[in-house]
């Protein structure tokens, strides 16, 4: 992780940036061992406030996508994972109507990884993930971006397992 610029931007700087350009984000889609459930977290912040979603966040300058996924797993969920534990599954262009900055919409290019949680793993959540639950991978009520991530991750996992 050398040369990574771990910059937490001021609200003023970040709002200026999201007015102008898409943000690269990295998420982790967490499955149970049987690949029939996905662990989702109720968002405390906009966008998607109150919606169950995958965990993740902004890519730092000079950080690889894999490094970001590992960092997000640690800081948001307390998971100690390595790059070899995650599998790249795809990306999605997301445009949200709102953001933490009022009338500024939020646009991300989200790269996501699949991860299979080992049984009896203890999670330690950060303040933005107070509520979580396991959902069936076929749950029709899930957000469209979550459904897309699940579909792509399952394709990768099934290829690896040769289903």
Look at residue 56 in the predicted model and tell me its pLDDT. Answer: 95
**Are the beta carbons of 134 and 37 closer than 8 angstroms?**
yes
Distance CA 120, CA 4 (A): 32
Q: What is the pLDDT of residue 101?
A: 86
Which range (67-71, 84-88, 122-126) has the least confidence?
122-126
pLDDT at position 63 over 70:
yes
Domain extent listing, the chain: 11-161
Instruction: Tell whether the model's pLDDT for residue 40 goes beyond 60.
Output: yes
Architecture of domain 11-161: Alpha-Beta Complex (3.90)
* Cβ 62 vs Cβ 4: under 8 Å: yes
DSSP 59: P
**What pLDDT sits at residue 162?**
67
Rounded Cα distance between 131 and 91, Å, is 25
Left (φ > 0), alpha (ψ -120 to 50) or beta: where does 121 sit? beta
Helix (H) or strand (E) holding 152: helix 144-161
Tell me which DSSP letter residue 61 carries: B
Residue 79: other Cβ atoms inside 10 A: 21
Q: Is residue 111's pLDDT more than 60? A: yes
Among candidate residues 35, 12, 141, the one with its CA nearest the CA of residue 87: 35
What pLDDT, in 10s, does the model give residues 13-33?
A: 888 999 999 999 999 999 999
Whole-structure pTM value? 0.90
Tell me the C-alpha distance between 81 and 123, whole Å. Answer: 12
**Mean pLDDT across 49-78:** 94
128: pLDDT strictly greater than 60: yes
């Amino acid at each position: 992780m050398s040369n990574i610029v771990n910059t937490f931007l001021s609200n003023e700087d970040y709002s200026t940036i999201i007015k102008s350009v898409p943000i690269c984000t990295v998420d982790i889609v967490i499955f149970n061992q049987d690949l029939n459930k996905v662990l989702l977290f109720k968002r405390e912040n906009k966008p998607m406030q109150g919606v169950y979603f995958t965990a993740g966040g902004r890519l730092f300058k000079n950080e690889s996508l894999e490094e970001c996924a590992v960092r997000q797993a640690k800081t948001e969920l307390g998971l100690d994972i390595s790059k070899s534990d995650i599998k790249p599954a795809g990306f999605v262009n997301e445009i949200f109507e709102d953001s933490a900055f009022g009338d500024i919409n939020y646009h991300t290019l989200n790269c996501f990884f699949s991860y299979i949680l080992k049984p009896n793993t203890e999670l330690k959540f950060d303040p933005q993930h107070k509520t979580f639950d396991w959902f069936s991978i076929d749950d029709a009520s899930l957000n469209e971006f979550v459904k897309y991530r699940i579909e792509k991750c399952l394709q990768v996992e099934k290829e690896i397992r040769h289903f």
